[in-house]
C-alpha cells in the first residue's frame, strides 16, 4: 500500500508541476500580447488627438 501511495504522489507531482509552469507561461505570454496591443492603441489614439489639436491651432492662427 505504501508503494502504491508513493508512486501516486510522484506521478501527481511530476504532472502537476510542468502543467502549472505551462499555464503560468501561457498567462505571461497572453498578458504581454495584451499589453502590446493596448500600447499600440493608446499610441495611435494619442497621435490622432495631437494631429487634431495641431489642425485646430493652425485654423485658429489663420
pLDDT at site 54: 95
Between CA 4 and CA 48 the distance in angstroms is: 66
pLDDT one-digit tens code per residue, 17-26? 999 999 999 9
Question: Mapped to the 3 state alphabet, what secondary structure does the chain carry?
Answer: CHHHHHHHHHHHHHHHHHHHHHHHHHHHHHHHHHHHHHHHHHHHHHHHHHHHHHHHHHHHHC
pLDDT at site 61: 86
Between CA 58 and CA 45 the distance in angstroms is: 20
pLDDT one-digit tens code per residue, 29-39? 999 999 999 99
Between CA 34 and CA 41 the distance in angstroms is: 11
Amino acid at each position: 500500500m505504501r508503494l502504491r501511495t508513493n508512486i501516486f504522489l510522484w506521478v501527481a507531482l511530476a504532472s502537476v508541476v510542468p502543467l502549472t509552469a505551462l499555464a503560468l507561461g501561457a498567462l505571461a505570454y497572453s498578458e504581454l500580447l495584451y499589453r502590446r496591443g493596448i500600447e499600440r492603441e493608446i499610441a495611435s489614439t494619442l497621435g490622432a488627438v495631437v494631429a487634431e489639436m495641431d489642425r485646430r491651432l493652425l485654423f485658429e492662427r489663420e
